[in-house]
Chain A
Amino acid sequence: MNALQQYIDLYSDHGSLIHDHSCPTLNAHRAHAAQNLRNMALPAKGSENYEHTDLRELLEPDYAINLARVPLDVNPHDTFRCDVPNLSTALFMLLNDRWAETDISRRQLPEGVIVDSLAHAAETMPELVGKYYNRLADPANPLVALNTMLAQDGLFLYVGKGVKLEKPLQLVDILQYGMPLLTPRRMLIVVEEDAEARLLICDHTQNPDVKLLSLQTTEIFVGRNARFDLYDLEESSRLTTRLSSLYLRQEAGSNVLLDGITLFNGTTRNEYFCTMPEPDAELHLYGMGIEDDDRRLDTYSRISHEAERCHSEELFKYVVDDHAVGAFSGRIHVAPGAQKTEAYQANRNIVGSADARMFSKPQLEIYADDVKCSHGTAIGQLDAMQVFYMRTRGLTEQTARTLLKQAFMADVIEGVRLPALKDRLRQLVELRFSGASGACASCRQECPQAL
C-alpha cells in the first residue's frame, strides 16, 4: 500500500473515532485535509525541496496511532527529568500527544496567559482557538494536511495584549510507547500586541528501542511590537523520526527568535515558514545539528519579506560525523516593495568523516532594489593546523577536536537570549561532543556521566 493511502484509509474507516476523541474546532478541518491528501501524492525523494528526505519511506511503516486516546499508565512528572532543569520555568508536559500538566505550573501563570491542552482550549474557548487554528499552515503541504486530518491534541499558548511573561515557559514533549507509534501533535501559539513570552520545548524519546514518529505542525502568530522566543531542543533517539512544520506570521515591529537545536535524533525534518507581511519586524532564525552514527537532519526554511524595513538573521550550523547526513535548504524571498529589507542567511558545516554527507542549498530571491541581503554556505573540515597546535600543548587529538567542534557552535549558542539556557546548552553541547549518550540525558538514574 502506498504510504499516504494507509492514512487516508484510516481516516475513512475510523474518522468517527478521531472525531469522538477530539473537539469540533479541530474536527472542522479534517474532511478538507483528507480531501487534499486524496488529491496529492507524497513528494518523491529528490524532488524540489525534498532532495534529502524520503517522506514515502518515512511514512511507510505500519505505525499505530492512539486514536481512541487510551491513557498511558505513566506519569511523566515522576519518571522524567528534563535536561534543562532550574530554568525557573513553568513546566508543562505532553506525553505523546496527551496533555500531562501539573496544577502548580498553571497557578504560576499571570493573568492573560493561557497554557493548555489544545483540545481542552478549543472546547472551552472555541472562538479564540477557531480564529487561529489552521489559518496559517499551508494546506498543500502534505505534512500539514496529514497532521490536520489526524491531530487530536497538542499545545495552546496564548499571551494576551501587553502581557509580559517574565518567566520562560517550558514544554516537555515525550514520546513513549511499547510498539511503533505515530504521534500527530499540533501546537498553536498566539502572542498578542505588545506581549512578551519565551518558550522552551524539549523533545524527548523515553523508549529508545521502538520506532516512533512525531508528526507536528506548529502555528505561531506574533502581534504588533510583540516579542517571542522559541527554543526547540530535540534529544530523541536513533529510532525516532521527527517531521516538524512550523509556520510563523509576524506583525509590524515584532521581534521573534526561533532556535532549532538538534542534539540527539534519528531522522529529522524541520520546516520553517516565516512571513513578515508588515513593516519593521525582526526575525532571528537559528539552528544547530550535531549528527553522528547514521542520524539525519534536514532543515528547510523559507523567510518571506513582504513589507518594508524588516530584518532577518538566519544561521544554521551542523557538525556531521560517521555516516550521518545533514541537509540545509534555505530560501529568503524579498517581495516587490519590501524596500530597506535586511536579510542575512548563513549555513556553515563541518564534515568530520569520509562517509558523512552535507548538502546545502542557500537561496535568495530579491524583487526590491533597495535592500541589504546576503546568503552563503561553507562546508569544510576541522583545521589540521589548529588540531596540531593544540596537541603540541599537550591536548589529545580527541580533546582538541572536541574543543574545536564546541567552539564551532559558539555563535549559535551566543544567539540564545535566555542566560540560564545558554549556559546549560554550552554544557550539553560539550557533553554531546565528548561522547555522552542520548539515553543518559533523560534517565533518572544518577550516574556520574549525567550532570
Chain B
Amino acid sequence: MHAEIGGKEILKGINLEVKPGEVHAIMGPNGSGKSTLSMVLAGNPAYTVTGGEAEFYGKDLLAMEPEVRSHEGLFLGFQYPVEIPGVSMMNFMRAAVNAKREYFGEPQMSASDFLKLMREKRAIVELDNKLASRSVNEGFSGGEKKRNEIFQMAVLEPKLSILDETDSGLDIDALRIVAEGVNKLKSDNNATIVITHYQRLLDYIKPDFVHILYKGRIVMTGGPELALDLEERGYDWIKEQVDSQNL
C-alpha cells in the first residue's frame, strides 16, 4: 500500500498480513509512517491512498466509509484521543452501539441493556463511573483518555484493533491497566496491531510478530526478540542497513 497526505508520500509500499488470534507490533523511529498507517486503515479522509489494496475478511477495506469499517470490525485506538466538549460519553456510546446494530438490521438496544453493557465494559479498564457523565475525553487525564479508548474497544468488540501508541503518556500503573484490558479482550477470533515506540508495552502485550517500519516500508519482521534487540541497540543499525541498500 502507498499513501500520502498533502501531496507528500508517507507510505511507500507496505505489505502486511494479520490473521485472527494474532498480535502484531509495529515499531519504528519518528516519522516512519506508523500513525499514517493507522489513519489510512481507519479511513481518515485527510489521507489519500495512492496505490495498493487492503482486504478485510474478503472485503475491500479502502472502499468503505470509516463508519462502515467500524461496523465491519475495525477499531482504531487513537494516539491522541479527541476531546468533544458538549457530547456526553453516554450519548456518544449509545449512538455508536445503535449505529452498529442498525447496520446489521438489529433493533436499538434498550436503555437498561445499554447501562448494563456500560457497567460491564467499564470494569475491564477500571474506568470511573463519573467519566461516563462527562463530555467525551474532555478534562480526562492522559491515562483516563487511553483507558477510555480501550473501554470503547471493549464495547464495540472489533475483529481487528489498531492501537496507536496507546502506551504514550501513561505511567506504570495506567500502562498495566490498559495492557490488561487489551489482554482480557484478546481471543482466537480477533487480532491486534500494537503501534509503539518502546519495547516496554510488549512486556505486557505479548506480540507474535514485530515489524519495523522505516521510511514508509516494513524493513524487518521478527519475533518478540526483535523488540528486545531494538531496545538494546536503537534504530541506527537498521537505518544504516536500509539506507546502504538503497544507495
Q: Measuring CB to CB, which residues of chain A are less than 8 angstroms from any residue of chain B?
A: 383-386, 388-397, 399, 403-404, 406-408, 410-411
Sampled A-B contacts (6; CB under 8 Å): A392-B69, A392-B70, A394-B67, A396-B65, A404-B84, A407-B87
Q: Is the CB of A392 within 8 A of B66?
A: yes
CA distance A399 to B84 in the complex (A): 14
CA distance A184 to B92 in the complex (A): 46
B85 interface residue (CB < 8 Å to A): yes
Q: Is the CB of B92 within 8 A of A393?
A: yes
Q: Is the CB of B91 within 8 A of A388?
A: no
**Highest count of chain A CB atoms <10 Å: which of B85, B135, B156:** B85
Q: Is the CB of A395 within 8 A of B81?
A: no
Tell me the minimal C-beta distance from B225 to chain A in angstroms: 33
One digit per residue, 1 when the CB lies within 8 angstroms of any chain A CB and 0 when it does not, for chain B 79-111 equals 001101111000111011001100100000000
Q: Is the CB of B99 within 8 A of A399?
A: yes
Given contacts A395-B99, A399-B99, contact A386 B67 (CB under 8 A): no
What chain A residues lie within 8 Å of B78 (beta carbons)? Answer: 389, 392
Q: Which residue of B lies closest to A409 (CB)?
A: B86
CA distance A399 to B46 in the complex (A): 19
Question: Which 3 A-B residue pairings sit nearest by Cβ, starting from the closest?
Answer: A407-B86, A391-B66, A389-B82
Q: Is the CB of B65 within 8 A of A391?
A: yes
Q: Is the CB of A393 within 8 A of B70?
A: yes
Given contacts A386-B82, A408-B86, contact A396 B99 (CB under 8 A): yes
Cβ 8 A contact of A394, one of B85, B100, B135: B100
Q: Is the CB of B70 within 8 A of A394?
A: yes
Q: Measuring CB to CB, which residues of chain B are less than 8 angstroms from any residue of chain A?
A: 42-46, 65-67, 69-71, 75-76, 78, 81-82, 84-87, 91-93, 95-96, 99-100, 103, 135, 152, 156
Q: Which residue of A lies closest to B78 (CB)?
A: A389
Provide the main secondary structure of the chain A interface.
helix
What chain B residues lie within 8 Å of A410 (beta carbons)? Answer: 85-86
Given contacts A392-B70, A399-B95, contact A407 B85 (CB under 8 A): yes
Given contacts A389-B82, A407-B84, A410-B86, contact A394 B156 (CB under 8 A): yes
Q: Is the CB of A404 within 8 A of B99?
A: no
Given contacts A386-B82, A389-B81, A390-B92, contact A396 B87 (CB under 8 A): no
Given contacts A390-B92, A407-B87, contact A395 B82 (CB under 8 A): no
What chain A residues lie within 8 Å of B86 (beta carbons)? Answer: 404, 406-408, 410-411
What chain A residues lie within 8 Å of B75 (beta carbons)? Answer: 392
Cβ 8 A contact of A391, one of B67, B93, B100: B67
What chain B residues lie within 8 Å of A390 (beta carbons)? Answer: 84, 92
**Highest count of chain B CB atoms <10 Å: which of A384, A390, A397:** A390
What chain B residues lie within 8 Å of A411 (beta carbons)? Answer: 86
Q: Is the CB of A384 within 8 A of B46?
A: yes
What chain B residues lie within 8 Å of A396 (beta carbons)? Answer: 65, 67, 99
What chain A residues lie within 8 Å of B87 (beta carbons)? Answer: 403-404, 406-407
Q: Is the CB of B44 within 8 A of A388?
A: yes
Q: Is the CB of A393 within 8 A of B84?
A: no
What chain A residues lie within 8 Å of B100 (beta carbons)? Answer: 394
Q: Is the CB of B42 within 8 A of A392?
A: yes
Tell me the minimal C-beta distance from A2 to chain B in angstroms: 47
What chain A residues lie within 8 Å of B135 (beta carbons)? Answer: 407
Tell me the minimal C-beta distance from A101 to chain B in angstroms: 39
Q: Which residue of B lies closest to A384 (CB)?
A: B46
Cβ 8 A contact of A393, one of B46, B85, B96, B103: B96
**Highest count of chain B CB atoms <10 Å: which of A383, A391, A397, A406:** A391
Q: Is the CB of B71 within 8 A of A388?
A: no
Q: Which residue of A lies closest to B96 (CB)?
A: A393
What chain A residues lie within 8 Å of B85 (beta carbons)? Answer: 407, 410
What chain A residues lie within 8 Å of B92 (beta carbons)? Answer: 390, 393, 403
What chain B residues lie within 8 Å of A393 (beta carbons)? Answer: 70, 92-93, 96, 152, 156
